[in-house]
């Protein structure tokens, strides 16, 4: 498997996990974007796996959802 493919898959997995955790907590995209100090479009791209993010952004999202890393990164 090529590195680019692996990265794209990881971004999709993270985005899907983020969306699942957000929905499980009944939080809208708008509210999570506000809590994590992100633009709504940026959050939409993250959930769709369309953009790479900084660790600091992932940390803000994790804290905003009050979840563990393994819930976002996968087990």
Enumerate residues 6+ apart whose C-beta is below 8 A from 40.
Answer: 29, 30, 33
- Per residue in 28-48, pLDDT (tens digit) is 999 999 999 999 999 999 999
DSSP the chain: --HHHHHHHHHHHHHHHHHHHHHHTT--HHHHHHHTT--HHHHHHHHTT-S---HHHHHHHHHHHT--HHHHH--
Q: What is the mean pLDDT of the chain?
A: 93
Q: Are 38 and 57 in contact (CB under 8 A)?
A: yes
Enumerate residues 6+ apart whose C-beta is below 8 A from 23.
Answer: none
pTM over 0.85: yes
> In the structure, what pLDDT confidence band is assigned to residue 9 with cuts at 50, 70 and 90?
very high
> In the structure, what pLDDT confidence band is assigned to residue 13 with cuts at 50, 70 and 90?
very high
Domains in the chain and their CATH numbers? 3-73 (1.10.260.40)
């Amino acid at each position: 498997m090529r590195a680019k493919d692996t990265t794209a898959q990881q971004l999709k997995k993270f985005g899907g996990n983020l969306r699942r955790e957000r929905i499980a907590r009944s939080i809208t995209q708008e509210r999570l974007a506000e809590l994590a100090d992100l633009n709504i479009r940026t959050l939409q791209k993250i959930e769709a796996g369309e953009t790479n993010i900084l660790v600091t952004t992932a940390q803000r999202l994790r804290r905003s959802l009050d979840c563990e890393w393994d819930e976002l990164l996968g087990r």
